[in-house]
């Protein structure tokens, strides 16, 4: 089952939305889907009086119910289930080691746009090198979410290699037959804040130069994916803020995170952190050097 899609299932509305999204993604990729449930045993004292057999029965029921629903929707899809007694983040990361994609559910922020990123989701994100997509109930393909023809948004940084992030974004756009838009944000050097008479032409010149660099970055991918309708947006200001605004009406937002690990653990970075918490669309996080 190499390159299959994995989704974490726990019976919640968020995980059911994630499972439906993952099933559609697996169909698009023409690969199998694996539903994974993990429980960290023992549960006491959180659930006093709840026995191991009760937990196992509930987990089997949640997996079976989800698998049956998805099989009815996608009769051609190969679906497998796994129930593991382990810490959820570690179990999901281990299961994702040979997968092409891991999908997780996440709670919306009530009336606000965005995600509540739980500890399991964060821990799983930084524990795996496999691309991870976070889904809210609003992103349910059968609910009030975004249609499959909505554009894919990808955040790019001209200061570093974005090949893995761009490859993922272009492949998703090609599968969905939808447009792709690359978003890049830049800032003037801090010293310009102390210049008493700032020339606006400097800003325009920098913006033109940065735009050319973004175009050069995208050029080989345009040639590799000639059927993908590609555009780009270059802004001065906060990268996270612009990506969040661009996510309105998008089908998917793709961002990167560095594989480099500090003594304090792997960091998601401020841009990815902002997008994960406030994007109005499913978010794919792609690990890269």
Q: Mind giving me the DSSP string for 174-236?
A: HHHT--EEEEEEE---GGGGG-SS--HHHHHHHHHHHHHHHHHHHHHHHHH-TTS-EEEEEEE
Angle between helices 270-278 and 239-246 (to 10 degrees): 30
Question: For the domain that residue 176 is a member of, what is the CATH number?
Answer: 3.40.50.12370
Q: Would you state the pLDDT for residue 190? A: 59
Tell me what percent of the chain is helix, strand and coil, each rounded to the nearest 5. Answer: 45, 25, 35
Query: 121 and 151: one domain?
Result: no
- Check whether residue 133 and residue 225 sit in a common domain: no
Half-sphere exposure of 56 (CA within 13 A, CB side): 5
Cα separation, 65 vs 34, in Å, equals: 14
**215 and 174 within one domain:** yes
Spell 257-269 as b/e; 16+ CB within 10 A means b: beeeeeeeebebb
Domain boundary among 111, 137, 163: 137
Please check whether residues 2 and 120 belong to one and the same domain. yes
Tokens 């606000």, residue? Answer: 112
Distance, in Å, from the CA atom of 142 to the CA atom of 206, rounded to the nearest integer, reads 44
Q: How far is CA 206 from CA 7, 212, 231, 243, 275, in A?
A: 43, 10, 19, 20, 25
Q: Which of 107, 137, 167 is the last residue of a domain?
A: 137
Q: Are residues 68 and 150 in the same domain?
A: no
Q: What is the CATH number of the domain that holds 25?
A: 3.40.50.620
Select from 116, 137, 158 the last residue of a domain: 137
Whether residue 96 is found in the same domain as residue 224: no
Same domain, 28 and 69: yes
User: What pTM was estimated for this model as a whole?
Assistant: 0.86
pLDDT of residue 168: 97
Residue 110 and residue 212 in one domain: no
218 and 111 share a domain?
no
Residue 127 backbone phi and psi in degrees, to 5: -95, -10
**47-85 burial, b if ≥16 CB within 10 A, otherwise e?**
eeeeeeeebeeebeebbeebbeebeeebeebebebebbe
Rounded-to-integer distance, Cα 104 and Cα 90, Å: 14
Same domain, residue pair 153 and 248: yes
Q: How far is CA 132 from CA 49, 110, 203, 208, 215, in A?
A: 35, 23, 36, 33, 27
> What average pLDDT values come out for the chain (289 residues) when binned by 10 residues?
84 89 95 90 50 69 92 96 87 92 73 49 85 86 61 92 95 96 82 56 82 96 97 90 91 87 61 86 91
> What 3-state class would DSSP assign to 6?
strand
Nearest to 131 by CA among 288, 286, 289: 286
Residues 129 and 173 in one domain: no
Bridge partners, 186 (sequence order): 236
Q: In this structure, are 126 and 177 located in the same domain?
A: no
pLDDT at 46: 47
Q: How many domains is the chain partitioned into structurally? A: 2
Residue 176 sits in which domain range? 146-289
């Amino acid at each position: 089952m190499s390159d299959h899609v994995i989704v974490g299932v726990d019976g919640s509305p968020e995980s059911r939305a994630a499972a439906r999204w993952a099933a559609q993604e697996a169909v698009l990729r023409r690969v199998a889907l694996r539903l994974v449930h993990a429980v960290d045993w023992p549960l006491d004292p959180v659930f006093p009086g709840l026995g191991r057999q009760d937990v196992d029965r509930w987990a089997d029921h949640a997996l079976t119910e989800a698998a049956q629903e998805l099989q009815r929707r996608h009769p051609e899809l190969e679906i497998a289930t796994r129930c593991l007694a382990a810490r959820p983040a570690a179990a999901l990361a281990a299961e994702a080691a040979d997968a092409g994609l891991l999908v997780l559910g996440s709670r919306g922020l009530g009336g606000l746009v965005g995600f509540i990123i739980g500890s399991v989701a964060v821990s799983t994100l930084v524990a795996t090198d496999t691309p991870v997509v976070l889904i809210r109930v609003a992103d349910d393909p059968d609910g009030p979410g975004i249609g499959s023809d909505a554009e894919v948004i990808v955040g790019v940084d001209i200061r570093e290699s974005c090949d893995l992030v761009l490859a993922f974004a272009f492949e998703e756009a090609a599968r969905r037959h939808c447009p792709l838009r690359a978003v890049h944000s830049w800032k003037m050097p801090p010293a310009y804040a102390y210049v008493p008479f700032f020339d606006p032409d400097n800003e325009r010149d920098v913006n033109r130069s940065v735009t050319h660099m973004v175009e050069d970055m995208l050029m080989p991918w345009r040639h590799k994916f000639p059927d993908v309708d590609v555009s780009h947006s270059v802004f001065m200001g906060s990268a996270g803020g612009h990506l969040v605004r661009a996510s309105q009406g998008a089908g998917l937002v793709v961002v990167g995170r560095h594989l480099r690990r500090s003594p304090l653990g792997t960091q998601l970075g401020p841009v990815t952190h902002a997008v994960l918490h406030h994007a109005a669309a499913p978010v794919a996080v792609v690990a890269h050097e």
